[in-house]
Structure 1
């Protein structure tokens, strides 16, 4: 069975259209590592990192789908399973293939994104793919990445977007409102990010609808 790891509750809801074996880390890299291993203990025979991502490559736009070729971290490079990637690409032919940066912190400025793209060659960044890659490598299982770009490379994240999630992977509304009260000028950027995230979620929903019930390396 395919085990899917997400960072957000809404991503997890969408992922269940592909497989019933889903875990949500609330965008906590430490928790993601534990949950990736837990998916394997619950019977996953392959892993998928699934959700929205930050764009690093300037040619990627909000809503573009990316199928991982490899996951790079500060200390390792993990190749995604080519057969799993090919099966996903066969269903989603317009998706881009590229390397993913498995981060442990949010990359929140356009300048930082540009540096990371230049130094790593990765086209997107997220907080779950490193955990999925490491757990799969440890267990000698195939893994893949399917992500939709939310904030593109030219856009940073407003501070109010960085105040975290609740334990279920949903936005922490109280802290967001308090951050806005301290700095109301970030409201336009926060609204823009909300629209970008909604567009990325819509792309994920369409992808999940196409993938649901498909044989992804015999584990769907």
Structure 2
């Protein structure tokens, strides 16, 4: 199933005073993303906690949703520090298309300095993908450039609310690097 952002994509931020909802997994990401015109929530890299947080929010108060933070690289050409701007987010059989207008606005306003920006798909998962073989298998199944644990949930929230969605993810661990087992339990309940 392919889910599109719908008519809300045409919302002009200069006219629409509502804030953008920023979804992160870590407190450090939330601190980076915070700013005027943004409401930031941090899931502590817990998909169930993110769903519970989103359920408390009225989506009509936001003009869009952006998933922001780090991601695991699936595309072998990506290096640590490369930025992936999502064209779509895949989760199971569902694909959420990113809102191009919101993507362009986000890129224009982000302080990306000299970072390499790549447009590509994101795979949404419910737990950390640590092993190189698992990353390769997910890449083969989805064709995604990167993987994270928040974008698919944020995209589903935006699609249900019929508001634009975008995602900007920085590669923390490239496809050729396995994460240590500690990475699966290192995030504290408060997002640190």
TM range (shorter): 0.7 to 0.9
Q: Which runs of 5+ in 1 are unaligned?
A: 171-220
Question: Given the superposition, is the C-alpha separation of residues 160 and 23 from structure 1 closer, same or farther in structure 2, using an over 3 Å criterion?
Answer: same
**Residues 3 and 39 in structure 1, CA contact (< 8 A), matched pair in contact too:** no
User: Is residue 125 of structure 1 aligned with residue 143 of structure 2?
Assistant: no
Note the residue ranges of structure 2 that are not aligned, 5 or more in a row: 1-18
Whether the aligned pair in 1 keeps the contact of 2:85 and 2:167 (CA below 8 Å) is yes
How many pairs were matched up? 170
Larger C-alpha radius of gyration, 1 or 2?
1
CA RMSD for the aligned pairs?
1.8
Contact 1:3 1:40 in 2 (8 A): no
Which runs of structure 2 are paired with 1:87-98 in the superposition (5 Å)? 87-91=105-109, 94-98=116-120
Of 140, 152, 164, 1:142 maps to 164
Deviation at 1:137, TM superposition (A): 0.6
CA distance in 1, matches of 2:154, 2:55: 8
SS at match of 1:14: helix
TM-score for the superposition, normalised by structure 1: 0.72
Q: Going by fraction, where is helix more abundant, 1 or 2?
A: 1
Distance of aligned partners of 1:18 and 1:155 in 2 relative to their CA distance in 1, 3 Å threshold: farther
Q: Does 1:77 align with 2:95?
A: yes
Please give the alpha-carbon distance, in whole angstroms, between the structure 2 residues aligned to 1:36 and 1:90.
Answer: 27
Indicate conservation of the 8 Å contact 2:75/2:146, yes or no: yes
Task: Name the structure, 1 or 2, with higher relative contact order (CA <8 Å, separation 6+).
Answer: 2
Task: Name which of 109, 129, 133 aligns with 1:111.
Answer: 133
Q: 1:120 to 1:107 in 2, by over 3 A?
A: same
More strand by share: 2
Deviation track 1:177-216 (CA, whole Å, cap 9, x = no partner) reads xxxxxxxxxxxxxxxxxxxxxxxxxxxxxxxxxxxxxxxx
Going from structure 1 to structure 2, the CA distance change for 1:138 and 1:54 (only over 3 Å counts) comes to same
User: TM-score scaled to structure 2, two decimals?
Assistant: 0.82
Deviation at 1:40, TM superposition (A): 4.0
